Structure 1
Amino acid sequence: MAVEISKGVYWVGAVDWGIRKFHGYELSTHRGSSYNAYLIVDEKVALIDTVWEPFSDRLLDNIREIVDPSKIDYVVANHAEMDHSGALPEVIRIATNATLITSKRGLESIPGHFHQNWNIHAVSNGEHLPLGSSELLFIDAPMLHWPDSMFTYLSGRNILMPNDAFGQHYAAAFRFNDEVDQEELYEEALKYYANILTPFSDLVLKKIDELLSLQIPVDIIAPSHGVIWRKDPLKIVKNYQEWARQIPQKGAVILYDTMWKATLRMAEAISGGLTVKGIPNKLIHLAASDRNDVIVEVFKAKAVIIGSPTLNSGILPTVAPMLEDFRGLKFKNKVGAAFGSYGWSDEAVDKIEEALSEAGIKVAAKSIKAKWQPDEAALDCCRQLGEELAEEIAR
């Protein structure tokens, strides 16, 4: 059902309790998600974003609780990705007189997805659109997280609708941040940032500075996924500034997979060396872990230590995808090391070191290779590796 979030402004989206994988690269959504769309009823009627196509009927039903969808004057597409724009064909089929508002880059992405001859108006950064007692302000936000992304601000109601920024994949019975479990909420907000926005951290800081420089009052931040921030809404903005600076905690994660427990024993010895030096650390068995949850742990820690036995002259297939993620996420301010066991050849450790360097993670300690099962001398070397990295982490 529709929920009024401010006078004349309604959430008309859909909650997806059952989704567990999101996007083409399958971001895990253990707590579901939502597709948030916002209806503004003034002298003109505006719909800000839509929902994923399977939820089109729910969106239209929610709109009908407030107004006849054919009366919509403007449909704003802040971003063309299908979880936001999927219902556009159904909405525009009914709202035949509506103007579709996009960013300049949206002139490419929206027609590229739908191949329809719609009435599209591309707005410039800072352009205003009067609705009556309120007006919309459009703010370009390229690469947060697509080139076509923009924010929409509703003056008179002081509502920022930033599409994918400040969101969470979090299904909830209630719509507002002060109505849900705070630990769950911030876990999902951090997971969302770490997995989606980390590569754009410099742009995040720049855009937040630009946004704050506008000195527009913000009473509500209404993202396109998860709950709406109405209590202390700028707290999540401050969180984003902190996360975007990527100042890690003084801790380590040891990521590994193992075939016959040789690499596991090495991981435990490295953990022992870190622990002796008082450095918090976690061992994460990649074969039994969700990769998006692992990325959150890596995001928080200063050191990432990766272990794999050699298989077919390379890295285990449970380990290699994480290294590919690291290349794309472009983590900052991290150090790393590699370790692993081998039998007939020992290429895995060298390939891990190479991948860490390519991802911008400084290899800060000599990596360890153990032939067959590690003997006590090899395990001592692993403990020394942990102690050496502990000194690097503590700096």
Structure 2
Amino acid sequence: IKEILKLAPNATVVGTANCKAGLEKHYFGNWKFQTVKTGDTLNLGERTLSFLEAPMLHWPDSMFTYIEKDALLLPNDGFGQHLASSKRFDDEVDQNILIEEAAKYYANILWPFSMLVTRKIEEVQKLGLKIDMIAPSHGIIWRKDPMKIVTAYLRWAKGEAEKKALIVYDTMWESTEKMAKAMLEGISSEGVEATLFRLPVSDNGDIIAALLETKGLLVGSATINNGVLPTVAPFLREMEGLRPRNKLAAAFGSYGWGGGAVATIEKALKSAGMDLVVPAMTVKWVPDSNELQ
């Protein structure tokens, strides 16, 4: 914006009050600024922009813009993806990849604001706007079926999930890994789909995306310095920040001299708002065949 306004010094910047405050504090520019709020419009001649503030989706200055002539919704960061493509529209890309990237974006960025997501969508629906296209600030534009992503957002915001489980862990001398693999085998034998993720081999963003529509989460770690391994700690911090809704969870791990990892895991999962459904599973040194049962 700073560079554009150097080229067009007479241009007027249009945004919310939060937008104005943020730009001024970032760039210290003495720019022409028009502050708008929900219900305001801006006539551009052939088209009129209608504004709907959407704070914390996912910035304080976020705002939706609607263009009636084109039945076009510009939702800022809503309904977007971190998907780089030479294509522009949803009907030009693989649908599985598109929805996976949209889910990954939601889970890693918008999950903590799920209640706001639901309210904002309901607010737009009450306005009765005709929407033929949704063009987020980054990612693919939804034109073939724009309501597909809206429906998905409502599902994700409600915390709807499938009867599946993720097992996320790291190990020091393979004891915790043996426990993780035994859990994978046991859960799968009951006909429940389960997926194993080892940290840091697996990316946190991918794990969080997989958790979005998964009901159960098991987190395991060996003990070091009376706590979890350094590779597990960032994932737990992500859980506390994102606060996934309607999740069932459990902790497991191993130790040698003294425990501590499972207590750290349980504390983090509780802090994230998850329901701990079974007591923590802890093994000293190496698990034997009975313990792996």
Task: Report the TM-score, using the length of structure 1 for normalisation.
Answer: 0.73
Cα distance, 1:177 vs structure 2: 0.9
Of 96, 100, 103, 2:16 maps to 103
RMSD of the alignment, in Å? Answer: 1.0
- Counterpart code for 1:354: K
Q: What SS is found at the alignment partner of 1:376?
A: coil
2 CA distance for matches of 1:287 and 1:176?
A: 34
2 CA distance for matches of 1:282 and 1:269?
A: 12
- Counterpart code for 1:105: N
Name 1:262's counterpart in structure 2: 175
Q: What SS is found at the alignment partner of 2:208?
A: helix
* Structure 2 unmatched ranges of 5 or more: none
2 CA distance for matches of 1:291 and 1:219?
A: 35
* Structure 1 unmatched ranges of 5 or more: 1-87, 381-395
Of 213, 219, 224, 1:300 maps to 213
Cα distance, 1:286 vs structure 2: 1.2
2 CA distance for matches of 1:233 and 1:276?
A: 39
- Counterpart code for 2:281: I
2 CA distance for matches of 1:273 and 1:199?
A: 32
Q: What SS is found at the alignment partner of 1:97?
A: coil
Name 1:90's counterpart in structure 2: 3
Q: What SS is found at the alignment partner of 2:86?
A: coil
Cα deviation per residue 1:226-260 (whole Å; 9 max; x = unaligned)?
11111111211111111111111101001010111
Match runs of 1:329-340 below 5 Å: 329-340=242-253
- Counterpart code for 1:360: G
Match runs of 1:82-161 below 5 Å: 88-161=1-74
- Counterpart code for 1:121: Q
Name 2:80's counterpart in structure 1: 167
1 CA distance for matches of 2:149 and 2:243?
A: 22
Of 368, 371, 384, 2:284 maps to 371
2 CA distance for matches of 1:336 and 1:174?
A: 40
2 CA distance for matches of 1:179 and 1:363?
A: 43
1 CA distance for matches of 2:37 and 2:54?
A: 11
Name 1:276's counterpart in structure 2: 189
Structure 1 position 227 matched with structure 2 position 133: no
Name 1:286's counterpart in structure 2: 199
Structure 1 position 312 matched with structure 2 position 194: no
Name 2:255's counterpart in structure 1: 342
Cα distance, 1:316 vs structure 2: 0.3
Cα distance, 1:273 vs structure 2: 2.1
1 CA distance for matches of 2:248 and 2:286?
A: 27
* % identical equivalent positions: 48
2 CA distance for matches of 1:124 and 1:272?
A: 55
- Counterpart code for 2:80: G
- Counterpart code for 1:155: E
Task: Report the TM-score, using the length of structure 2 for normalisation.
Answer: 0.98
Find runs of 4+ consecutive structure 1 residues off by over 2 angstroms: none
Q: What SS is found at the alignment partner of 1:374?
A: coil
Equivalent residues of 2:103, 2:212 under 8 A apart: no
Name 2:115's counterpart in structure 1: 202
2 CA distance for matches of 1:202 and 1:93?
A: 39
1 CA distance for matches of 2:74 and 2:58?
A: 14
2 CA distance for matches of 1:299 and 1:241?
A: 13
Match runs of 1:378-389 below 5 Å: 378-380=291-293
2 CA distance for matches of 1:140 and 1:153?
A: 11
Cα deviation per residue 1:176-212 (whole Å; 9 max; x = unaligned)?
1111111111111110111010000000000000001
Equivalent residues of 2:40, 2:50 under 8 A apart: yes
Moved more, 270-279 or 321-330: 270-279
- Counterpart code for 2:169: Y
Cα deviation per residue 1:266-322 (whole Å; 9 max; x = unaligned)?
111112221222111111111211110011112221111011010111100111111
1 CA distance for matches of 2:124 and 2:184?
A: 43
- Counterpart code for 2:157: A
Cα distance, 1:96 vs structure 2: 2.1
Cα deviation per residue 1:23-59 (whole Å; 9 max; x = unaligned)?
xxxxxxxxxxxxxxxxxxxxxxxxxxxxxxxxxxxxx
Name 1:245's counterpart in structure 2: 158
Q: What SS is found at the alignment partner of 2:251?
A: strand
Equivalent residues of 2:166, 2:196 under 8 A apart: yes
1 CA distance for matches of 2:190 and 2:179?
A: 17
2 CA distance for matches of 1:229 and 1:276?
A: 40
Cα deviation per residue 1:323-351 (whole Å; 9 max; x = unaligned)?
10001101111111111111000111111
Q: What SS is found at the alignment partner of 1:377?
A: coil
2 CA distance for matches of 1:232 and 1:202?
A: 24
Name 1:191's counterpart in structure 2: 104
